[in-house]
A and B are shown apart, each in its own frame.
Chain A
Amino acid sequence: DSGVTQTPKHLITATGQRVTLRCSPRSGDLSVYWYQQSLDQGLQFLIHYYNGEERAKGNILERFSAQQFPDLHSELNLSSLELGDSALYFCASSSGQVHTEAFFGQGTRLTVV
């Protein structure tokens, strides 16, 4: 158990819908990262939050957004869903210090039908 909790584990939804994925980082970690894992693209970095502030954006679509709340949990919002958004979405957390590694949650498997 990495200490990073993601809910839900599985999500099946229709095209055009909106979903919210939730991540609770390890206790004390200030940084939260979101990644998308698909067969063709591999692990793609989406967005990074540190202590409530957005720090970096990767290959995140405009239909996707995220936020980190004062209690440090984070939510990834995916809207106007398309079939191609079906993937495994991972959240990772780290302390935010220079020499640290990221710990990953179990992921949310999103299936868009």
Chain B
Amino acid sequence: AQSVSQHNHHVILSEAASLELGCNYSYGGTVNLFWYVQYPGQHLQLLLKYFSGDPLVKGIKGFEAEFIKSKFSFNLRKPSVQWSDTAEYFCAVNLRDSGNTPLVFGKGTRLSVIA
């Protein structure tokens, strides 16, 4: 079955610490990969996306992610987090070849950044 796994349920970091959130997927075809962020009380917003090409993708607010096909992974990174990065982060995948297939989400990782 198609699935997305996010390894960390809750991550607590101090400001300026580096961040890496893991995401692995289990899919039988070619995929599109996404990271969404949900700030407290708000809707999901797209951080970055990967469709094809350079596996290192840069998104908004200093986030980046690397697609490693051999590991079925798409980990999210940020060199130095800020208090305002406190949010829930969701990895999502859909099948590229089938057009606009629904996104399948991981369970999310809650990031708490403390001063």
> Which residues from chain A sit less than 8 Å from chain B, CB to CB?
2, 31, 33, 35, 42-43, 45, 48, 50, 55-56, 58, 90, 92, 94-107
Q: Chain B: how many interface residues by the 8 Å CB criterion?
A: 23
Asked whether A2 and B102 contact (CB < 8 A) given A43-B90, A43-B108, the answer is no
Asked whether A97 and B43 contact (CB < 8 A) given A42-B106, A42-B107, the answer is no
CB distance from A31 to the nearest CB of B (A): 5
Most buried by A among B103, B107, B108: B103
Tell me the dominant secondary structure on chain B's binding face: loop
- 19 interchain pairs, CB-CB under 8 A: A2-B43, A2-B45, A33-B103, A42-B105, A42-B108, A43-B90, A43-B108, A45-B103, A45-B105, A48-B101, A50-B100, A56-B101, A94-B100, A95-B100, A97-B100, A99-B96, A104-B45, A105-B43, A107-B43
User: CB-CB < 8 A to A105: which residues of B?
Assistant: 43
Per-residue contact bits, chain B 32-45, to A (CB 8 Å; 1 contact, 0 not) = 10101000001111
User: Complex: how many Å from CA A57 to CA B44?
Assistant: 21
> Which residues from chain B sit less than 8 Å from chain A, CB to CB?
32, 34, 36, 42-46, 49, 51-52, 90, 96, 99-108
Q: A106, B100: Cβ atoms under 8 Å? A: no
User: CB-CB < 8 A to A33: which residues of B?
Assistant: 102-103
CB distance from A92 to the nearest CB of B (A): 8
